[in-house]
Amino acid sequence: WYQRRVRGELAKLAFFNDIVVGAVCCRADLQEGQRKLYIMTLGCLGPYRRCGVGKKLLDHVMKIAKDDGQYDAIFLHVQISNDEALQFYNKFGFKIIDTKQEYYKRIEPADAYVLEKSLKGCEA
């Protein structure tokens, strides 16, 4: 994992005409004996949404997990009011598995859904 982090595979920027328009950053996580890839942040500037930037970044994350072959799932937190993000991740097979009360400290609503995509028994 350290080598991947050093090489920059777990953090990527998306550029358009030398301007950063999107980014993703992940980390390996171990929960209850399962190895998971946690998406700490994935975002795209508003004017570049629906242009495939987010899909490219998420495809990159899923490729890391697939190539590694040892991840059980990919997961992330999404603010409960972020319908656009919920729809985006749903298209890629992510499911709501939990709700964390008061997850966010400086935004309202403060609650977050935990979304997860299982990688065992299916193609990432």
Q: Is 68 within 8 Å of 60 (Cβ atoms)?
A: no
Residue tagged active-site, from 48, 60, 77, 113: 77
Q: In what helix (H) or strand (E) does residue 68 lie, and over which residues does it extend? A: helix 53-68
60 a catalytic residue: no
Residue tagged active-site, from 38, 71, 89, 113: 38
How deeply is 37 buried, as exposed, middle or buried, from its count of CB atoms within 10 A (0-12, 13-18, 19+)? Answer: buried
Which two three-digit tokens encode residue 13? 């920027």
Q: In what helix (H) or strand (E) does residue 84 lie, and over which residues does it extend? A: helix 83-91
38 a catalytic residue: yes
So which residues are the catalytic ones? 38, 77
